[in-house]
C-alpha cells in the first residue's frame, strides 16, 4: 500500500539543496545496507549530478559503503557513452569517477544497439537482476522496487524522458520504453516507465532554478480545473516522495491565481487526449486510412 507521504524541503539556495540531498542519500544508503546489504539507486541526467556534488566530498564520501551500491539510469539518450549528451558520461564525470563503486555494479545502456533494442535489452537486464534478487520486486505492483529513484524536472514538468505530450507517459506494462521524438534533443532515448518509478521505496525530486518555477507552482499549488496532470504530478511512489527545492524554484508559488496555465492546458489537453486515443489506443484507424488510400 502506498504511504502517500510527501515531504517538501524548501531551502534558500541550490547549495543548501546539495547539502541536504547528500545527508538524505547517506541516511538511506546506511539504512538499506544495514537491512539487506545493498542499495539500489536510479540516477537522472540534467542538473541532478551537479547537485549531488556534496555526496562525493569529504567527510560525506567516507560515510558511505560504496561497494554495496548498484547504480541504474532512469533514462538515457541513445548515443555513445562517451558522447557529451550521454547521461552516463555526465554521471561518470561528476559522480561515479569520484567514488569506488564496483564497475560490475554500474548498469549503463548498451550504446551499440538501436533505440528499440536498447530499451528491450535494458529491461531484460533488469528482469535478470530481479530474478537473482539484486533488485527487489514490489508485492503491490509486480514491478521492480528500487531503493531510491532520483529525479529532476524540466520546465515543462517532464521527468525522466516522459514528456507531457508523448504517449509513453501512459505506458502501463513495460518496465523500459523508448522515445524517438523527444522534444528536447537528442530525440532518441530510453526511459523507465511510471509503474517502475512509482514502485520504488523512495523518490526524490531535486528541483532548482527559476526556469522550473512555473511547473513547481502547477505541481504543488491547487489546480482543481486542470484534469491532465503534468508528468511530475504522476510521481507517486510506494514509499516517501521528497521534494528538494531552492528559493528560485519556489519563486512563483505565491502567485497561485494565474489562470493562464489553466486556459492553455484545457485547450491543448483536449487536443492531445484525442490524438493519443486515435493514434495509440485505436490502431485500427491506421488500417482504415490505408484502405481508403488504396481506393
CA distance 283 to 2: 34
In the chain, what percentage of residues exceed pLDDT 90?
A: 80
Confidence of residue 295 (pLDDT cuts 50, 70, 90): low
3 has a pLDDT exceeding 50: no
- Judge whether 73 and 43 are in contact, CB under 8 Å: yes
CA distance 71 to 111: 17
Long-range contacts of 131-134 (CB under 8 A, 24+ apart): 134/38, 134/40, 134/70
What are the pLDDT digits (tens) for 245-259? 999 999 998 754 444
Q: What pLDDT, on the 0 to 100 scale, is given for residue 284? A: 57
224 has a pLDDT exceeding 60: no
Average pLDDT along the chain: 89
Confidence of residue 266 (pLDDT cuts 50, 70, 90): very low
77 has a pLDDT exceeding 60: yes
- What does the radius of gyration of the chain's CA atoms come to, in whole angstroms? 20
Q: What pLDDT, on the 0 to 100 scale, is given for residue 259? A: 40
Confidence of residue 277 (pLDDT cuts 50, 70, 90): low
Q: Which of 274, 275, 111 is closest to 190 using CA atoms?
A: 111
What are the pLDDT digits (tens) for 17-53? 999 999 999 999 999 999 999 999 999 999 999 999 9
CA distance 152 to 243: 10
pTM of the predicted model as reported, rounded to 2 decimal places: 0.84
Set of cell numbers at residue 137: 520486486
In the chain, what percentage of residues exceed pLDDT 70?
A: 83
Look at domain 6-257 and name its CATH class: alpha beta
Q: In terms of pLDDT, which residue wins out, 281 or 219?
A: 219
Q: Which of 1, 149, 7, 127 is closest to 73 using CA atoms?
A: 149
Query: Average of pLDDT values for 112-125?
Result: 98
List the chain domain ranges. Answer: 6-257, 259-295
274 has a pLDDT exceeding 70: no
Q: Count of CB atoms within 10 A of residue 291's CB?
A: 9
Provide the 3-class DSSP secondary structure of residue 281: helix
Q: What pLDDT, on the 0 to 100 scale, is given for residue 263? A: 40
Amino acid at each position: 500500500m502506498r504511504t502517500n507521504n510527501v515531504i517538501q524541503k524548501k531551502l534558500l539556495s541550490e547549495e543548501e539543496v546539495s547539502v541536504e540531498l547528500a545527508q538524505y542519500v547517506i541516511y538511506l544508503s546506511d539504512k538499506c545496507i544495514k537491512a539487506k546489504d545493498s542499495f539500489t539507486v536510479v540516477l537522472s541526467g540534467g542538473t541532478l549530478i551537479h547537485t549531488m556534488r556534496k555526496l562525493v566530498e569529504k567527510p560525506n564520501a567516507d560515510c558511505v559503503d560504496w561497494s554495496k551500491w548498484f547504480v541504474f539510469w532512469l533514462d538515457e539518450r541513445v548515443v555513445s557513452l562517451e558522447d557529451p549528451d550521454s547521461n552516463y558520461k555526465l554521471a561518470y564525470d561528476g559522480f561515479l569517477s569520484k567514488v569506488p563503486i564496483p564497475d560490475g555494479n554500474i548498469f549503463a545502456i548498451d550504446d551499440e544497439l538501436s533505440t528499440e533494442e536498447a530499451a528491450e535489452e535494458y529491461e531484460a537486464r533488469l528482469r535478470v537482476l530481479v530474478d537473482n534478487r539484486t533488485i527487489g520486486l514490489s508485492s503491490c505492483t509486480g514491478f521492480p522496487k528500487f531503493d531510491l529513484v532520483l529525479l529532476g524536472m524540466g520546465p515543462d514538468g517532464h521527468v525522466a524522458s516522459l514528456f507531457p505530450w508523448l504517449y509513453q507517459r501512459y505506458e502501463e506494462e513495460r518496465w523500459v520504453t523508448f522515445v524517438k521524438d523527444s522534444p528536447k534533443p537528442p530525440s532518441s532515448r530510453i526511459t523507465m516507465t511510471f509503474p517502475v518509478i512509482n514502485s520504488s521505496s523512495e523518490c526524490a525530486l531535486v528541483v532548482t532554478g527559476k526556469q522550473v518555477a512555473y511547473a513547481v507552482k502547477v505541481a504543488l499549488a491547487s489546480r482543481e480545473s486542470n484534469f491532465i496532470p503534468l508528468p511530475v504530478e504522476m510521481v507517486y511512489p510506494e514509499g516517501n516522495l521528497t521534494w528538494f527545492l531552492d528559493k528560485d524554484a519556489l519563486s512563483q508559488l505565491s502567485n497561485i491565481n494565474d489562470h493562464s496555465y489553466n486556459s492553455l492546458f484545457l485547450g491543448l489537453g483536449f487536443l492531445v487526449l484525442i490524438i493519443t486515443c486515435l493514434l495509440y489506443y485505436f490502431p485500427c484507424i491506421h488500417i482504415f486510412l490505408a484502405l481508403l488510400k488504396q481506393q
